[in-house]
Amino acid sequence: MLIDVPFAENLIDTHLVVDVRTPLEYREDHIPGAINVPLLDNEERVEIGILHKHSGPHAARLRGLELTAARFPLIVSEIAAAAAGRRTLVYCWRGGLRSRTVASILELTGFPVSRLQGGYKSYRSHVTSFFSPFHPPGPLVVIHGLTGVGKTSLLHRLDRERYTVIDLEGIARHRGSAFGDLGLSQDLSQKRFESLLWDAFRHSPPGRQIIVEGESRRIGRLSLPGDLYEAMQAGIKVWCAASLETRVDRLIEEYGRPGYKDGMADALLRIRKRLGGEKYDEIAGYLERWELRPFMTELLVGYYDRVYYKTREWREDTAISLEDYDTAIRELDEFLGARVG
């Protein structure tokens, strides 16, 4: 008998999860680890929807059968190969006809299968509830510091056995600043962003310190979900410092690629009002001549240091220098070790 099961995290860790929605629906968001074996393609789903609206459910179901029946053997073989003996969990948008059809075919052919009760909507409700109210599985440690100081580089050097490191900007595919999309494509949806964050947090062992970089509520066009921003504001705050010269060097290393020049010019134009016309002309001239050191210096002094962290309503719990990453990591380890002890 076909079993409908409510969403639970252990299901996606023990089952092959199969999303039978269209490729477009899957691309917008899906349960982490799920494979896409669509019953209908994008155009067919639109056709069935229009037919259902104008001719009713019976006509739509008959047409759906015409479109999909010949694919049933391929669907079964694809899922069976991916499952490799595991039980399969099938879902569609809300636990309706598409998942019932595929799950029934699998059951009839002898494969162990369950259907997700409520479909993707039930999973989505779980993710939304996870972040509101948000209770991280371990203490949140938030790395702050001025632009170019090297916060992201520090994160990537930390011991992943000792800490859970969640790169918010990496997941969002944006560096969170006016120039944050250079070389990146923020082509994921808000829902997908939230799914990836949920998956990262849920895999953190209970009680382990979770280290993230300080962000505003938005990273590019994406927003931190639920109460995550508030939880970060209440977390352990570490201020990172480095000299202006070091920050300029690091920005040149990251952005100093000729292929970024046009994108940098576009980003500079977007902040022209904040800079003022005279300062904009000066900085734009450096960029046009590809004089990166004065360009980065003036950008930091004339824009980033003025706009970001202009006022802080909080005090850091500790401060470390990022002039040398190895030294900074030792200092951070000592500080956070004492917090645990």
d(CA 218, CA 255): 22
pLDDT at 312 over 80: no
- Continuous H helices in 69-165: 72-83, 97-108, 119-130, 151-157
* Position 117 confidence tier, pLDDT thresholds 50, 70, 90: very high
- pLDDT surpassing 80 at residue 313: no
Segment 81-115, tens digit of pLDDT: 999 999 999 999 999 999 999 999 999 999 999 99
Q: Are 26 and 39 in contact (CB under 8 A)?
A: no
Mean pLDDT, residues 51-56 taken together: 92
pLDDT of res. 20 = 98
Mean pLDDT taken over the chain: 94
Cα(110)–Cα(8) distance, integer angstroms = 24
pLDDT at 340 over 80: no
Going 161 to 164 to 169 to 170, the CA torsion angle's sign is positive
**Mean pLDDT of the 318-331 span:** 97
Average of per-residue pLDDT across 252-258? 92
Are 3-129 and 133-340 in the same CATH fold?
no
Instruction: Provide the CATH topology of domain 3-129.
Output: Oxidized Rhodanese; domain 1 (3.40.250)
User: Which residues 6+ apart lie within 8 Å of 263 measured at CB?
Assistant: 179, 181, 182, 183
Report the pLDDT averaged over residues 174-193: 89
Please check the confidence at residue 245 and state whether its pLDDT lies above 70: yes
Q: Quick one: pLDDT at residue 181?
A: 85
Interval 32-48 mean pLDDT: 95
Distances (CA, A) of 22 to 26, 55, 186, 224, 295: 6, 22, 22, 27, 47
Residue 322, number of CB atoms within 10 A of its CB? 24
- The answer to whether 92 is a known catalytic residue is yes
| Nearest one of 50, 25, 46 to 37, comparing CA atoms | 25
pLDDT, mean of residues 300-311: 82
Does pLDDT of 341 surpass 60? no
pLDDT score at 307: 81
Question: Three-class SS of residue 100?
Answer: helix
Q: According to the model, what pLDDT value does residue 316 have? A: 87
Regarding pTM above 0.85, the answer is yes
Report the percentage of the chain scoring pLDDT > 90: 87
For domain 133-340, the CATH class is: alpha beta
Segments making up each domain of the chain, as ranges: 3-129, 133-340
Catalytic residue among 48, 89, 92, 113: 92
DSSP H helices, 173-255, are 190-202, 228-233, 244-255
Which is more confident, 309 or 119? 119
Categorize the per-residue pLDDT at 311 as very low, low, confident or very high, splitting at 50, 70 and 90: low
